[in-house]
Structures are given as C-alpha cells and as structure tokens.
Amino acid sequence: MNAIEDTQKRRDARRLASMMRKATGKRAKMWGPSIVGYGKYHYKYASGREGDFILTGFSPRKQNLVVYIMPGFSPFTSLMKKLGKYKTGKSCLYISKLDDIDESVLDQLIKMSVKLMRERYEVE
C-alpha cells in the first residue's frame, strides 16, 4: 500500500485493509498486481470448471477504489440505499473516496458478504 502514490487513496486503502482484516480474520494477500485479497473461496461451475478467488478484497485504482463484494449486491439492497455515493458492477463496488460513503454501512456490507460467502462456499 505504500506504493500507492495518491495520499487520499493510500489512507483509504489502509482503512479498507483494517475493515477487511477484521471482517475475515485473514491477512492481506496480493492476487495479481492490483487486488488486495482477504481469504479465499473455492467455486465450481456446472460446466466442471473450478477455481479459487478472494473472499473479499479491494483494488486501489487510479480513478476509484474497487471493493469486491463477491455475492453481488441483490442480497443487500437495504444497506446499499444507506451507503452513499457509489457505482456497482456485478461484484464490484466503485467508490471515489471513502469520505463519499458511510463507512459503518460499508463495514456491515463487507461483514454480511463474508458471512454469506461462508454459508455458500468452502472458504479458507
């Protein structure tokens, strides 16, 4: 995280890291060059394809912070209404900076996401 040039993004990344460490009980691990992951789960598709991916994590990108909420957002619609300013992809939450959102809501979202993933998958 020290390699993140933008001071605000570096501070936000540290705050996210703390949230995720507490939510998962896991240490950070790099997944490729830009994803900071916490824990992992094993998936298997009906096609037979299988693999491992992060339980949760984030990527401090140039334009925004990407928070990985692996179950997607449909289970969390009531929380999402309280979150603040953000955009979403399938399992990606895009935030310009943590000051734009309610961090306590994000913390709940991460914890609930991790809980749901642990119920659905084999998790390490």
Query: Mean pLDDT per segment of 10 residues, for the chain of length 124 residues?
Result: 80 96 97 96 93 97 95 96 97 97 98 97 91
pTM of the entire structure?
0.93
Token pair, residue 53, equals: 């991916």
Give the pLDDT of residue 111: 98
Give the pLDDT of residue 2: 67
- Among the listed residues 103, 16, 98, the one whose alpha carbon sits nearest the alpha carbon of residue 56: 16
Give the pLDDT of residue 16: 97
Give the pLDDT of residue 118: 96
Q: Is the dihedral of CA 25, 34, 95, 113 positive or negative?
A: negative
Q: Which domains does the chain have, with CATH numbers?
A: 7-123 (3.90.1150)
Asked if 94 contacts 58 with a C-beta cutoff of 8 angstroms, the reply is: no
User: Across the chain, which distance is largest between two alpha carbons, in Å?
Assistant: 44
Residue whose token pair is 């490729």: 32
